[in-house]
Amino acid sequence: MKIKHNDETIAIKPDLPVIPLRDVVVFPHMIYPLLIGRNFTINALQEAMSEDKHILLLSQKEASVDKPKQDDLYSVGVVARILQVMKMPNGTFKVLVEGLIRAKVENINKKNKYFFAQTKIITFDSKTQDRETEALCRAVSEQFSEYIRLNRRVPDEVLVTLASINEYQQKSDTIATHILQKIETKQSILEEFDVKSQFVILSDILNEEIEILKIEQEIDGTVRESMTQSQREFYLQQQLKVIKDELGQHDEPTAEVDDIYAKLESYDYPVEVKNKAEEELKKLSKMHPYSAEAGVVRSYLDWLIGIPWNKPTKDRINFKDVKAILDADHYGLDKPKSRIVEHLAIIRLAGKVKGPILCLVGPPGVGKTSVGRSIANAMNRKFVRMSLGGVHDEAEIRGHRRTYIGALPGRIIQSLKKADSSNPVFLLDEIDKIGKDFRGDPASALLEVLDPEQNSTFTDNYLEVEYDLSDTLFITTANSIASIPAPLRDRMEIITLPGYLDFEKLAIAKNFLLPKLYKELGLTKIVITFQDDALYEIIRSYTRESGVRELERQIGAVLRKIVVEIASGKKTKKITLTKNKVHKALGAPKFVDSNIKPTPTIGYAVGLAWTVVGGETLPVEVVPMYGKSKLTLTGSLGDVMQESAVAALSYIRKNREQFGLTKDFYDKVELHVHIPEGAVPKDGPSAGVTLITALLSSLVSIPIRTDIAMTGEITLTGDVLAIGGLNEKLLAAKRNGISEIILPYQNKK
């Protein structure tokens, strides 16, 4: 069938692919964007694009139906022409269509996974004009103009478009498109084939909508008038305050302000704090009580007067009591204990003294963190702990300025308020793991905190008032000195905590770990004898650490087996734990006593290495082979260790006569240096002595005693330089049964 559309003749087939629509009705002469994503609608779109780009648009009765059938669709729709298709990144299609003419469905079938409809085109006699139709058209147009004036969601340009339309049917469709009504109402207009009836329906709808919009405007006007009155009252109140200030008259403070004034008078705050608080109180008294600014000021005052200004606890300065408490909590650790006693002695003689900044450095599990709590207990001070691991933002230390929404003081001030003391023991844990990024450098912010010459005037960005941190005893902890930023390291007393020897671990287990675990596991009423050789077996065969953290876990694993037996009803009067019971509870040993060869071996030397978890032995193997001037290094060696091996070989070549080697010995040999446990990366300069000893042994065929370990950095001139991590290396040698150790002379102390 051929139709005329905007001075254009269009041929429309009776059979058309169908696109069901949800929550929308498209009228003729309207251009509308559609989002298509269901498979059967995409198939219908592709079919239409392959033919004449004509498609039938039918609205669904229920938008929630995802796979509609014929009964779910209205029987009257619009034949549309596809103007534009755009494929979206998520696989859906954005389609621009233009409604052409109404059509009634006579039959719907499913073909190739999409709906296919036989349609009957609905035509109107556009030339029929009578007075009644003209009158209805004018009345509806005026109503629509009033509707647009009241409803700002419809653009005014629609009236211009409407005025340019001459045909009644097109005017009716245009008005129906732009009224905000339910789908059912719009569909009823689409299904009305008489223009006069359409105008009557539109007139009724517009009358009702205009009345509703007028009521909405009245309500909105009432609300606006109420808001204007409230704003007027606030403005007058502000004027009244200014007039009273000019006359020297003041209102009585509110209960909240009065309470803050009372706190300021009842406590000995510094002068700067009082002045700042009074300044903020004046601002608060002039603000609307429910304004956002008033809330910010209240929060600030809560922090300002809630911080412990000049609120120290009294130190315990009886040396015997302090030492007894420290010894009861920790085994060994003589250096930090003696330093605290020294500090208390200075307090007794000099009165007030600046607190020292102690940095406890050692491997994990040796008691660095817990010793801080013990020191606080011994000195009768409050204890505060702040972990610095992973801190990247400078505001974590100094706080945020009050201009930011949700601003708070830094964690230093927050911790002091939590402790409610101005002289706590403040533990800054894991200072070597502090970060740095675009948000600032927290290490730089800590410089002021940890500098005894500056921390008496520490300024938090939020408080804007100086706070005296000089009475606070700061203790920091770290696993490695090298990882601490140099400016911070310069401000602290470094106290190294070495790992524990086996006999020390035994004492710690008997005096500290076992009583603690008995209490935690409910075994205090059971007589348990933990034999020393059983504890030694756990220490040597199931743990490999400098501290006692893993030891506590393994002992706990053994004791939990006992708890299960007791809960199962087995006899519980007396229990003795032996090596065999340890093996039964923990399984096969995890570590062998030593990985060192028992007899002297050519080209085999024992070195010592430092790791973050303590010391380790470092066997070095060298094998000479027939070849020419080649040095092969294996075992995951780092750059520094590889350079040490090259330097050691160069020293041997330079001094070949002293070692009885021929001039051309290196021209006939290929040396392979290997350090076992190749999966573990190894690096550092202290293996130089071990490497040169193993190389020389392999070249002169003289075996090396394996009960001797060595460490030291070698130079090309034969000098042996001092090394670090000496305590950890000595402990590793002791643990592996080594009786003699060769050390650099420069390490003699």
Q: Is residue 233 part of a domain?
A: no
Residues 6+ apart with CB under 8 A from 665: 656, 699
- Residues annotated as catalytic are 686, 729
**pLDDT on residue 702:** 92
Same domain, 299 and 425: no
Say if residue 330 is in the same domain as residue 260. Answer: no
Question: Can you give the pLDDT at residue 692?
Answer: 93
Query: 451 and 474: one domain?
Result: yes
Residues 122, 193 contacting (CB under 8 angstroms): yes
Residues 6+ apart with CB under 8 A from 455: 448, 449, 468, 469, 470, 472
Tell whether 237 is covered by a domain: no
Last residue of a domain, one of 215, 244, 276: 215
Are 338 and 458 within one domain?
yes
Q: Within this chain, do residues 277 and 166 fall inside the same structural domain, yes or no? A: no
Domain tally for the chain?
6
Give a yes or no: residue 116 inside a domain. Answer: yes
Helices of type H across 248-285 = 255-266, 271-285
Largest CA distance in the chain: 131
pTM recorded for the entire structure: 0.58
Same domain, 140 and 260: no
Residue 356 CB partners (closer than 8 Å, separation 6+) = 339, 343, 452, 473, 474, 493
- For residue 18, the enclosing domain spans 2-121
d(CA 728, CA 545): 10
- Would you say residue 242 lies in a domain? no
Q: State residue 452's pLDDT score.
A: 80
Low-confidence ranges of the chain (pLDDT < 70): 125-129, 223-239, 241-242, 244-255, 351-355, 437-440, 571-572, 593-594, 612-614, 678-680, 749
Q: What pLDDT does 704 receive? A: 93
Show the tokens assigned to 747.
């390490």
Q: Is 230 exposed, middle or buried (0-12, 13-18, 19+ CB in 10 A)?
A: exposed
469 and 413: one domain? yes
- Distance of alpha carbon 603 from alpha carbon 599, whole angstroms: 12
Q: Bridge partners of 614?
A: 611
Residue 147: predicted pLDDT: 86
pLDDT of residue 252: 45
Residue 534, CA distances (Å) to 214, 232, 538, 562 in order: 92, 85, 6, 15
- Say whether both 57 and 6 belong to one domain: yes
CA quadruple 140, 143, 149, 154: dihedral sign: negative
CATH number of the domain bearing residue 484: 3.40.50.300
For the chain, what's the residue count?
Answer: 749
Q: Which of 306, 336, 369 lies at the terminal end of a domain, its last residue?
A: 306
Cβ–Cβ contacts within 10 Å for residue 226, how many? 10
- What is the structure's pLDDT at 449? 86
Same domain, 539 and 483: no
- Quick one: 352 and 456 in the same domain? yes
Residues 79, 201 share a domain? no
Task: Report the CATH number at residue 73.
Answer: 2.30.130.40
